[in-house]
């Protein structure tokens, strides 16, 4: 009996189809055009693409195409996962078509300047850890976990020496010299021979920080201590400080200030007896009429801040090249954490005294007014920075509020 030719053709096609699915031919990452088995479903991000594999709106032919472009999977779940990674649709607002990208397109692009290099040779981060000139590099001392930086003059060497001894071998030490005297430190202090010395005359701490503490340099360190030279650290232990910071989840912090032996500018930075950490002040007149505003909570002063790696990567970008005194930065550090009232705080159990030695003011030229001129510039920079922040906030808010519909489409070519 003769078979129906149409039925025979359908049976043959079905048989061939399932043979092809069971024994796929592997092809090396073809670039499929967007119109071949378009992948649908999900949202406009990667999660949506993953969900598309299970969506009822997913094109079934797209699923069966996957075995031909990736290794065969042992289960349908693996096939669906592979499908989502091979073809991804990015839905654009008001777009009439979808754009497709391969899994290779999701890889992180090389850093600027490294495009011509093979990816595995690119090292985009560095550190300030000193190395030997001899031996196997793999046997060098490992990079230390934390970094202490101080802006110093030779006249304050005794206090700086006492402070450095409060930091363990887990810290790399970097000194910024505003008076040009560097080699003399080696003659008096053995630890100085292992420190990094940067000399630039008559510059402020934030000038050095902007130029020598780029986030790619600080990246290997869990915490960055960016301290002044006039802090009395008699009752301070850096390792214990780090433990408390990690325990309380502080991303930006400072030690409490002992006002019985030193000075304070803000109530919130004053040390509290019997406390490990505090995050706000109790309010009241003067600086803190509203406990939920800076500098009443979510505040750390520019004098002795300690940053986590991620927080510093943000704060560095906020430092202005020309505003070297840094006044006003501390009122905006809160922008660099997710929850300022929880992730910023003062460590009471490890405290220092601010001696308030006017070494920076002495760097002014006497013939032009000396310290008075230095302080006048600091106040001028404070006003300039506040204006820049205010204008930047206003422009960012205006850009976010502008509806997409008001944006003019690009002109069509004739």
Residue 257 lies in a domain: yes
Residues 103-147 pLDDT 10s: 445 578 888 899 999 999 999 999 999 999 999 999 999 999 999
Are 43 and 192 in the same domain?
no
Q: How many CB atoms lie within 10 A of CB 232?
A: 17
Residues 284-320 pLDDT 10s: 555 677 788 888 899 999 999 999 999 999 999 999 9
Provide DSSP, 376-404: HHHHHHHHHHHHHHHHHHHHHHHHHHS-G
Q: What would the two tokens of residue 100 be? A: 């497709």
Residues 68-89 pLDDT 10s: 433 443 344 443 443 333 333 3
Residue 59: the pLDDT is 41
Q: What would the two tokens of residue 19 be? A: 């043979």
Greater confidence (42 vs 383) lies with 383
Q: Where residue 339 sits, what CATH number does that domain have?
A: 3.90.550.10
For the cut 70, the answer to whether the pLDDT of residue 67 exceeds it is no
Burial class (CB in 10 A: 0-12, 13-18, 19+), 250: buried
Confidence class for position 208, pLDDT limits 50, 70, 90:
very high
Greater confidence (228 vs 10) lies with 228
For the cut 60, the answer to whether the pLDDT of residue 61 exceeds it is no
Strand 252-257 to strand 306-308: parallel, antiparallel, or no bridges (unpaired)? antiparallel
Residue 54: the pLDDT is 40
Could you give the number of structural domains in the chain? 2
Regarding pTM above 0.75, the answer is no
For the cut 90, the answer to whether the pLDDT of residue 390 exceeds it is yes
Residue 2 lies in a domain: no
Q: What is the Cα–Cα distance from 57 to 89, expressed in whole angstroms?
A: 13
Strands (DSSP E) contained in 184-258 are: 196-199, 223-227, 231-232, 252-257
- Cα torsion 190, 191, 193, 195 to 10°: value is -170
Are 82 and 145 in the same domain?
no
Instruction: Provide the residue range defining the domain that includes 309.
Output: 137-365+372-386
């Amino acid at each position: 009996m003769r078979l129906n030719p149409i039925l025979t053709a359908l049976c043959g096609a079905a048989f061939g189809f399932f043979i092809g699915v069971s024994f796929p031919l592997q092809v090396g990452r073809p670039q499929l055009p967007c119109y071949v088995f378009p992948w649908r479903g999900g949202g406009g991000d990667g999660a949506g693409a993953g969900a598309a594999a299970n969506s009822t709106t997913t094109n079934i032919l797209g699923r069966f195409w996957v075995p031909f472009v990736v290794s065969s999977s042992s289960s349908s779940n693996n096939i669906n996962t592979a499908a989502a990674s091979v073809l991804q649709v990015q839905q654009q607002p008001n777009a009439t078509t979808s754009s497709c990208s391969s899994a290779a397109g999701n890889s992180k692009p090389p850093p600027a300047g490294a495009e011509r290099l093979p990816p595995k040779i690119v090292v985009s981060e560095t550190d300030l850890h000193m190395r030997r000139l001899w031996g196997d590099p793999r046997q060098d001392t490992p990079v230390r976990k934390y970094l202490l930086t101080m802006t110093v003059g030779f006249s304050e060497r005794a206090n700086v020496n006492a402070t450095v001894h409060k930091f363990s071998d887990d810290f790399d030490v970097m000194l910024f010299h505003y008076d040009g005297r560097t080699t003399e430190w080696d003659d008096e202090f053995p630890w100085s021979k292992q420190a990094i010395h940067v000399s630039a005359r008559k510059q402020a701490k934030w000038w050095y920080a902007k130029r020598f503490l780029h986030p790619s340099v600080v990246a290997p360190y869990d915490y960055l201590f960016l301290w002044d030279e006039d802090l009395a650290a008699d009752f301070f232990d850096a390792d214990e400080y780090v433990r408390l910071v990690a325990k309380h989840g502080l991303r930006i912090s400072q030690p409490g200030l002992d006002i019985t032996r030193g000075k304070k500018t803000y109530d919130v930075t004053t040390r509290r007896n019997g406390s490990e950490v505090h995050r706000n002040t109790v309010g009241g007149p003067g600086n803190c009429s509203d406990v939920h505003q800076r500098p009443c909570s979510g505040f750390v002063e520019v004098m002795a801040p300690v940053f986590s790696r991620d927080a510093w990567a943000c704060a560095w970008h906020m430092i202005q090249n020309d505003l070297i005194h840094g006044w006003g930065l501390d009122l905006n550090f809160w922008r660099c954490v997710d929850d300022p009232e929880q992730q910023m705080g003062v460590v009471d159990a490890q405290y220092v005294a601010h001696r308030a030695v006017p070494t920076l003011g002495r760097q002014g030229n006497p013939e032009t007014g000396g310290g008075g001129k230095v302080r006048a510039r600091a106040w001028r920079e404070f006003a300039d920075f506040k204006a820049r922040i205010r204008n930047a906030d206003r422009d960012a808010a205006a850009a976010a509020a502008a509806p997409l519909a008001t944006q003019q489409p690009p002109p069509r070519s004739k």
